[in-house]
């Protein structure tokens, strides 16, 4: 299983991070050891003093594909989940300053929260999904996948130019604005179309 993640895919998030929109998606990868399932607590790693939450809709790939045409890409995913791409922002900023890769800031153990998956047919409009995050009972992020710069099909077409997609691969599709730091004892609850998808604590 491969875990892909996409950066800079919501305009307002790009604005809050003072990032210029790119003409192509920004794609990076996480190992399977990054996955955090079943509402297990997230432990802040000792190598970072500024870990941020980034709530994202996650696609599940359902068939083998390479060089997938964008117009056919919706045949290659069958379900979505809600996730968190935890980011060691202090390490990421240091890596960005020297032009280095992001892996140590985004691919560490437990950095990819994932909920249970929901079949696409559950939704009346799977291309425009509402999602939001509560931090200690207060809403801090809200987005709709129709706001993405590169939509689901565009991401699959782009990623499959470089990597063969296989059944079970995951794509974290980017975060809206409102990202912020987590602290010990914080309580995170994520909702997809008003359904509670994850509910866990920070340790």
Q: Which residue has the tokens 């985004």?
A: 106
Global pTM reads: 0.96
What domains can be seen in the chain, in order of their start residue?
Answer: 3-201 (3.90.850.10)
Continuous segment of H or E residues that includes residue 103: helix 103-106
Q: What is the pLDDT along the chain (203 residues), one digit of tens a residue?
A: 999 999 989 987 656 666 666 689 999 999 999 999 999 999 999 999 999 999 999 999 999 999 999 999 999 999 999 999 999 999 999 998 998 898 999 999 999 999 999 999 999 999 999 999 999 999 999 999 999 999 999 999 999 999 999 999 999 999 999 999 999 999 999 999 999 999 999 99
């Amino acid at each position: 299983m491969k875990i892909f993640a996409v950066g800079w895919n919501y305009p307002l998030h790009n604005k809050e991070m003072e990032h210029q929109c790119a003409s192509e998606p920004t794609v990076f990868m996480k190992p399977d050891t990054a996955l955090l399932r079943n509402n297990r607590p997230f432990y802040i790693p000792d190598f970072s003093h500024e870990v941020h939450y980034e709530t994202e809709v996650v696609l599940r790939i359902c068939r083998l594909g390479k060089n997938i045409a964008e117009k056919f890409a919706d045949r290659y995913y069958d379900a979505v989940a809600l996730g968190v791409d935890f980011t060691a922002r202090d390490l990421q900023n240091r890596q960005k300053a020297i032009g280095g890769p992001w892996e140590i800031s985004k691919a560490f153990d437990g950095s990819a929260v994932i909920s249970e998956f929901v079949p696409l047919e559950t939704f009346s409009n799977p291309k425009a999904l509402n999602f939001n995050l509560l931090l200690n009972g207060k809403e801090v992020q809200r987005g709709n996948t129709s706001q993405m710069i590169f939509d689901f099909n565009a991401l699959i077409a782009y990623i499959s130019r470089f990597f063969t997609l296989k059944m079970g691969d995951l794509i974290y599709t980017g975060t809206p604005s409102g990202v912020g730091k987590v602290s010990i004892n914080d309580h995170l609850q994520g909702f997809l179309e008003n359904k509670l998808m994850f509910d866990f604590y920070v340790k």
